[in-house]
Structure formats: C-alpha cells, structure tokens
Amino acid sequence: MKRILLFATALVLGANTMAQNADFELPLSGSDTAWFGQTTTNASGDTTFTNGYFTFENNYNSGWGSWSGWAYSNDTDASTSGYANQFGNITGSGESSTQFGVFFQSFTGKNRIFTNTPVNLSGAYFTNTTYAYFSMLNGDSFATQFGDTSNASGGADWFLLTIYALDSDTLHTGDSVNFYLADYRFTDNTQDYIINTWEWVDLSSLGTVSGLDFKLTSSDVGQFGMNTPAYFAMDNLTIDFANINDNNFSTQSIYPNPTTGILSVNTNENSTISIFNINGQLIRSVKTQNSTTTLDLSDLDNGIYFIQVENKGVITTQKVVKQ
C-alpha cells in the first residue's frame, strides 16, 4: 500500500475539469460572443456541452442558423432590443463573472440538463435576456406590452419559468419550482415588475435529482403559441454539498469515516481523487497508481469534506467528517 501525502504530491487539475457547479466559464472561438451549437457536425443537429457536473442539451439547425435549448455567452449588450440581441442579458454580465448560460425554449424537447450522478441542488441565479426584457417592457411586432390594459389579459401579464426535477429515467419526479420573470397581476401597480437583476432561486426542495427540465409560459399567447420571447439567462447552478448522497459510492469505499486524519480509499487504478470543502472549493487532487490509496488529511481543519473519485468519466462523491 502506497501512502500519498497530499500536501507534498498534490496534482491540481484545471478548474473546468474538477469544478462541480455550472458557471458557464467555457471557451469561445475567435470573436464569438456566444456558443449556441454552431460547431455542431451531427446530422440531427442535437448536441450537448458539459460544465461541472452538468450536461446541457442543444439543437442547432445549420440550414437556418437557428438553435434551441442551451447556449453560453459573454455578450454585454443590455440596451439593444430585438432578436438580434438574443445572447445578451439585461444585467450586462454574468452573476459574478464574465459568462452565463442562455436558454431558448425548444419545441423538440431539448430543454434539459443532466447530472453526472444524482445530486441535491442548492439553487441558481436567473434573470431576463435583453431580448425578452424589452419585448415585455415595450412590446414589439409579435408581443404586447406588459401592463397594457388593452391587451388580451387586461394588463395582468406574467412570464413564468417552471423548473422540473428529473429522475434517473429522465422523467419528471413530480417536484418543481416556479419563478416569475415578470408579474403584472398586482392590485397595486407599483408592485408590478420585470426582473432586471440576477435573482437567486432556491432549488433545494427538488431533493435528489438526475437532471432538470425547463418550461416557459406567458399570459401573452397568440395563434401560434406564446408571443413573449421564450428566453432566460442562468448562472452559477450550484450543488448542495452538505447533502451529497453518501450511497453513490457504488464501486469505491473509503474508511475510517469520521477520521482524525488518515483515510484509505479503494478505487480502480489510474483514478483521480479530489478533496473539496463544504463550499465546493477544490482543496487537493491526486492521481492513483494502486487500488488502495492512503490520504493524509491531518493538516486540514476539522469539518466536512467531500472525496470525489473520477475514473473513465464516472464520478462518485462521498462526504467525510474530519475530527
């Protein structure tokens, strides 16, 4: 059995490889301000991108140059209205960084996010895209102005995002969270709003999920469906590390737990073992050479940590208490 002293031999991997949360800080090509599937070579147009623990669905039509599902962007335009500005959001930036995710509702159902392993979510930040915001604020050639008492809803307008939990079979679990991106139904009109800041939405009530599905609905509906542009922006989709499912360690074992410092981890050879703190920050990471690896945590403060093992794209995580 070979002891690996983490503080002496730690191999720190890149943030995009080991980050658990989805921050959308992914590479863009050349002068592009967004990725929306334009590099897709699949004949069907269906593709995905991965960020942290999450895989995002996308569909790109090369003939029309159109897309749906998920994209990511660093577009800073928060003032130009119209479809041409579909990749900007009304805040002009990501929630706490440069980039953010953009969602455009797909009629083919490519609206989902999947996780590498079942997780509990803490939440995410949401806001309106610039296109949707100004469409609701002022109206356009398709949509009516929110709050206009002459429209079909009598000015009692709303724009609703519903987030559904997915089970391992990719079906809805029955749990969902509603978040209004705009709401003009208040008796006191001074309370009417269209979201123009990043707003945290708590997703912990969804429990353990294997993915998420998203649906936009609006009070403004025409002959061909919803008139409100079916877009929103999201950033920093965050895992609830305090509620990691200990039972997902199906092929690995770790002991003793709790520990005073020394841990033995049984893994496949050529795996990567990483330690995260309770905030999801990467502490250390090592490559294994044997089936049993000893980790020395004695220099870490007492508390809760998470041991992640990655082997051939399969990731498992277990909560460990250092005391």
| Residue with more model confidence, 244 or 32 | 32
Query: Is 237 in contact with 120 (CB distance < 8 Å)?
Result: no
Determine what percent of the chain is predicted with pLDDT higher than 90. 63
Instruction: Write out the DSSP string of 11-39.
Output: -PPPHHHH--SB-------TT-SEESSTT
What band does 138 get if pLDDT is binned at 50, 70 and 90? Answer: very high
**Residue owning tokens 């980039």:** 99
For 297-320, write each residue's pLDDT tens digit: 999 999 888 888 877 666 677 888
3-state secondary structure of 186: coil
Across 199-237, b (16+ Cβ under 10 Å) vs e yields eeeebeebebbbbbbbebebbbeeeeebbbbbbbbbbbb
Question: What tokens were used for 288?
Answer: 């294994």
Span 247-274, average pLDDT:
78
| Residue whose C-alpha is closest to residue 211's, from 167, 152, 253 | 167
pLDDT confidence of residue 252:
54
pTM listed for this prediction = 0.75
The full set of domains in the chain, from first to last, is 2-15+244-322 (2.60.40.3080), 32-243 (2.60.120.1350)
Question: What tokens were used for 286?
Answer: 């090592």
Question: What tokens were used for 81?
Answer: 């209205």
Query: Is 121 in contact with 239 (CB distance < 8 Å)?
Result: yes
What band does 269 get if pLDDT is binned at 50, 70 and 90? Answer: confident
Question: What tokens were used for 74?
Answer: 């660093």
Span 141-160, average pLDDT:
96
Span 51-72, average pLDDT:
93
